Every structure is written in C-alpha cells, then in structure tokens.
Amino acid sequence: MRIYLSFLFLVFFGYTALASVKTDSLLVVLKKELVKKKVYDDQKEVRIQKIKDLLTNTPQTNYIALYGLCSSLYEEYKVYQFDSAYVYTNKLLDISHHLKDLSKEYESKIKLGFILCSSGMFKQTFDCLNNINAAALNNDSKIEYYSLKARAYSDLADYDNDSYYTPYENAESVKYLDSAIMLCKPNSFDLLLQLGRKQIRTGDIKKPSPYFNRLLYSFNITDHQRAMVATSLSFFYDDKAHDEKRMELLIIGAISDIRSSTKETLAAFKLGELLYRNGNMVDAYTFIQQAMNDAEYYGARLRKIKIGSVLPTVAAQKLILMEKEKNKVIVYLLSITAVSALVLLVFFIIFIQLKRLKAKEKIIEEKNVQLEMINEKLGEDTRIKEEYIGYFFNVISGYILKLEKLKRSIDRKLVTKKYEDIQLVIDEINIKKERETLFYTFDHTFLKIFPNFITTFNSLFKKEDQIWPKDHEVLNTDLRIFALMRMGISDNETIASILEYSVKTIYVYKMRIKAKSIYHADEFDQKLMSSKAFEAPGKS
C-alpha cells in the first residue's frame, strides 16, 4: 500500500512539475511575442493599405468590386479597430443600396451587428439584427446571424450577471445556438464551435469539451480561430486544481491574438486575472495592462469597464510588491556597500603596508647598490695597491741592487786607493736614463691597471683637442699628469717633483688641458676618476 501511494505521489507531482515547466516556457514565448507585437500590427497595416490603394483606384460605379474590397477591409478591421470597421460596414450598406441587393444589405447589417456587439453596444446590436429577415438569408448567412445573436445574448447575460435577467438571456442564447447548429454541416468548424459554446452557456463544463479539443488539436485553423478556441476551452478548467492547464490555454490564446493582430480579445485579460490569483503580480499587471491597451485601441467599451475595475487593484498590489523588492534591494545594496567598504579598508591597509615595504625595499636596494659600489671600489683600490706595491717593490729592489753594486765598487776603489776611478763610476750613473726607465715602467704598469684610461680621457674632449701618445710613446707628459691624478696624486708639488717640472708648469698644463674639455672643471675631475681599473673586455 505504501509503495502504491508513493507511486501516485511521484506521478502527480511529476506531472505538475512538467506542466509548470511547459507553462513557464509558453509564458516566455508570450513575452517575446509581446515585444514583437508592433511587427505583426505593421504587417497588418501593410495589407490594409494595399486594399485601400485598390479601393482608391477602383471606379466608383463598379459597385461589385467596391463591395468586395470594402468587405475585405471590414474583415481586416472587425477585430482590430471598431471605428474603421464601422466606416466600411456603412460603406457596404451604401453600396448594397446602390445595387438594390437585399441579401448584401442583410450581410452588411450582420457585419455591423458583429462590431457593435464587440464594442459592447448591446441595444444598437439588437436594433440592427432585428431589422434583418432571417428567412431571406442564405444558409451561411443564417449560421452567422444566429451565432451572432446567440453571442449578443450571452454577452448581455455576462454583463447583467443577476438572477432576474441572466437566466432568460442565457436561454435565448442557447435557443439561437441550437438554430445555428441545425444549419451547420457535419464535422465542420462552425458546428464544433457552436456545440462547444452551447456547453459553456448551459454550464456543462465539468469535463473538457471534446468539440473545442478537436478544433484545437485536429483542425487546421487560423491564429484568430486558435485564439477563440483556446480561450473558450480554458473555461472548462475553472477549478484551482487545473490552473496550469487553464493558464496554458490562455497563453496560447494570447499568443495567437498577438500574431493575428486581434485587439478585440479576452485571453490576455483572463490570463492576467489568473496570474493575479496565483500571486504573480508583475506578469498579471503586464497582461491586464496589455488587455486594457487593446480594448482602448479597438474601442471595446464594455471590456474597458471590466478591465478598469480590476486594473487598479492589480497595479496597487504590484506597487506594494515592487516596494518590498525595492526595500530588499536597498538592504542588499547597503550590505554590499558595508562589505565593500570593509574590503576597501583592508585593501587600503594592505596597500599602505605594501607601500612602506616597498619603500624599505628601495632603501635596502639603494644601500646594497652603495655597498656594491663600495666593495667594487675597495676591490679596485686593493688591486691598485697590490699592483703598485709589487711595482715599487721591484723598482726599489732594482735600485737597492744597483746601490749595492755601486757601494762594493767604491769600497774596492777606496781599498786600492784608486780615487780617480771613483769619479768614473759616478759618471756612469745616467739620471736621465733612470728617470726615463722609471716613466716607462710607470706607464706600462698604469695602463695594465687602467687599460681604457687613454680612451676614457679623450672622450672628455672634442676630436680635434684629443691627446694621443705617439708611436714610440706609452704615455706622454700630458697624459702622465692626469694618470698621476687618477692614481690619487692631485698635489701639484708632488706631481712636479715626480715629473721634474716646476709647480707653475704643472698648474699651467692642467688648466690648459681642462679648458679644452667639453665638461666643466668639477665634472671633468669626476669623469676622469670614473675610469675603472681592470675592466673586462667589452665592458664599458
């Protein structure tokens, strides 16, 4: 038993879920069609304009052709716009009078009665229809006449909606429906339509109408006919349990009304009412407002009154709902704002910390660069010192050996009392040659330590002022002065004593050469001292 109940539960709720999905899908289609409504109306206007152009170009004496074109315009306007339909039904009456054709006059009056009924003008409708002799009509016109009269009584019964007039009007409606049914062909659209309408009018709506079901699912019908049939069939699903099916049929009816540019419509209004009862205020307002727009466009007086009695209530509920949603959105936005502010605060703190960290990293980086430069300078100084210590050690060692030899030679001469030979030994000492040797050794040692000195030095001058050693020279006097400066010997007296020049001469040399430089004196000294020692090949 428990398994059986579970099966029934799954079947029922599974069907409900599927029905809901189908209804939601149809609702999406309806909203899309609502957006395209103007496209369908524009297509209809194009058709109408073509017929009007033909009417304008038709001779006014060709009454048969005029009657046919006015009938076509009436068909376009009859569920689209009351005023225009009214104009062309009156033209049809005028033409039928010119033709003196009673059957066409009655056909025109039936058409006039249809739009008067659609507009809610019941007295005028009955006045018009009562002036028609039904016996003079052909079979098709009789069906149309009786069907219209049945509709007029049923609409009037719905409008009165009381216990006194409504039963009589319903009975009259059923009577005329029976008259139309008797004239319809077997299995025809008209027969099934009238039989279905009779079910509604007699209250036989407990089960879905087999007649409307056949028309909707087995007949090839137009969009306007589909709208009528689907809307009529929805009345057979009036209880709460069948709301999904009723909604599905009303949506089909509303979609078909839009596609056929029908303004004298009921589906959108009934759909809006159903959605309102189910709590969908937004969509309910949309479709009821659309029904009001259609009623105003067509000129359906009674329909406007009915919709007008419901629309304010739906609009008010929609506003309340929107206000609630607005409050929810405000709370949501405030929450988001608070969270965003907190996140921004955290980001700001992180940003400040990162900025401080970067500043510290930059300081560290600068200190590292300075340390690298100091280390490089220390390394360079160490190399220079090592080179020059070795250089001077060799030079001094050489001079000590020479002094030692000289001492031994003089000692021997003194022991043997060869005093004249002592002068000869002293004369053999060539101070100039020794100085040249010293300069030669210094030049080679300096260029070994500063291989790019000459190039760097000449980069401080224009091409015509550059100083290059001759083929037999390593460094000339000018270069040697600034080489000593690069070694850190900047005192003019020291330089003068080394090079065996006067202090004034050294000063003049330095000023004259610096004056030709492309750099200012201070900058010249900085550039000169930037010449690096022991540079690797290809390194600038």
Q: How many residues does the chain have?
A: 540
The answer to whether 209 and 196 have CB atoms below 8 angstroms apart is yes
- With both helix axes pointing from N to C terminus, report the angle between 63-77 and 82-99 in degrees, rounded to the nearest 10: 160
Q: Tell me, what's the pLDDT at 441? A: 80
Task: Tell me how far apart the alpha carbons of residues 176 and 130 are, in angstroms, rounded to a whole number.
Answer: 13
Residue 278: what residue type? N
Structure tokens at 262: 């029908």
Q: Tell me, what's the pLDDT at 3? A: 43
C-alpha dihedral sign at 251, 253, 259, 261? negative
Answer left, alpha or beta for residue 239, where phi above 0 means left and psi between -120 and 50 means alpha.
beta
Q: How many CB atoms lie within 10 A of CB 402?
A: 12
Q: Tell me, what's the pLDDT at 11? A: 36
Q: Tell me, what's the pLDDT at 501? A: 83
Task: Give the chain's residues under pLDDT 50.
Answer: 1-18, 536-540
Where along the chain do its domains lie? 58-132, 135-211, 321-424, 430-529
Task: Tell me how far apart the alpha carbons of residues 259 and 256 are, in angstroms, rounded to a whole number.
Answer: 5
The answer to whether 63 and 95 have CB atoms below 8 angstroms apart is yes
Task: Tell me how far apart the alpha carbons of residues 198 and 194 are, in angstroms, rounded to a whole number.
Answer: 6
Q: Widest CA span of the chain, in angstroms?
A: 185
Let me know the angle formed at the C-alpha of 468 by 466 and 473, rounded to the nearest 5 degrees. Answer: 160
Name the pTM for this structure. 0.59
C-alpha dihedral sign at 405, 409, 410, 414? positive
Let me know the angle formed at the C-alpha of 196 by 194 and 200, rounded to the nearest 5 degrees. Answer: 110
DSSP-based three-state secondary structure for 517? strand
Cα 450 to chain center, whole Å? 66
Rounded to 5 degrees, what are φ and ψ at 460?
A: -90, 0
Q: Tell me, what's the pLDDT at 390? A: 59
The answer to whether 149 and 201 have CB atoms below 8 angstroms apart is no
- With both helix axes pointing from N to C terminus, report the angle between 477-486 and 431-449 in degrees, rounded to the nearest 10: 60
Structure tokens at 528: 């000169």
The set of residues, in sequence order, having a beta carbon less than 8 Å from that of 318 and lying 6+ positions away, is 281, 282, 284, 285
Structure tokens at 54: 């033909």
The answer to whether 474 and 440 have CB atoms below 8 angstroms apart is yes
CA dihedral 247, 253, 256, 260 (to 10 degrees): -150
Distances in Å between the Cα of 158 and the Cα atoms of 122, 429, 442 are 12, 149, 129
Cα 417 to chain center, whole Å? 116
Task: Tell me how far apart the alpha carbons of residues 194 and 40 are, in angstroms, rounded to a whole number.
Answer: 29
Scan for tokens 């809901």, then name that residue.
20
Q: Tell me, what's the pLDDT at 4? A: 40
Rounded to 5 degrees, what are φ and ψ at 66?
A: -60, -40
Distances in Å between the Cα of 506 and the Cα atoms of 283, 346, 469, 480 are 104, 68, 18, 11
Task: Tell me how far apart the alpha carbons of residues 184 and 186 are, in angstroms, rounded to a whole number.
Answer: 6
C-alpha dihedral sign at 197, 199, 203, 206? negative
Q: Tell me, what's the pLDDT at 229? A: 95
In 416-472, which residue ranges form alpha helices assigned H by DSSP? 419-427, 431-449, 453-458
Structure tokens at 508: 């003049």
Task: Tell me how far apart the alpha carbons of residues 338 and 324 are, in angstroms, rounded to a whole number.
Answer: 21
